[in-house]
Amino acid sequence: MSEKSANKRRIFTREFKLKVLREVEAGKSQAQAAREYQLSDTTIYKWRHQLAKYKDQAFAGNGHAYTDDARFQELERMVGRLTMENDFLKKLLKRLENEN
């Protein structure tokens, strides 16, 4: 379920977080889930918020929340890749036009 890191903070897997959230969504109170799994109520609240905001990308990292910064970096990489593809296609089109 969790691992201890050097600074004694627990790191939970995506699967564990989703399991806890499914139980809460199925009717278990957030306070009860927090007691059962030895979590703070705030932690579960944050996980619920992250899941609602980021859907499938929530909890994608190594115990780190998917953040707007991560989304921004993902979009920057996509823009870079699309720019390279666009440049390649422009050069190819130019070459094909010159052959005719």
pLDDT, tens digit, for every residue of 16-57? 999 999 999 999 999 999 999 999 999 999 999 989 988 888
Give yes or no for residue 6 having a pLDDT over 60.
no
Give yes or no for residue 1 having a pLDDT over 60.
no
pLDDT tens digits, one per residue of 46-98? 999 989 988 888 887 655 556 677 778 888 999 999 999 999 999 999 999 99
Integer Cα distance of 9 and 98 in angstroms: 63
Give yes or no for residue 5 having a pLDDT over 50.
no
DSSP for 38-51, written as a single string: T--HHHHHHHHHHH
> Which pLDDT value is given to residue 66?
61
> Which pLDDT value is given to residue 24?
96
Query: Are the C-beta atoms of residues 20 and 39 closer than 8 Å to each other?
Result: yes
> Which pLDDT value is given to residue 69?
74
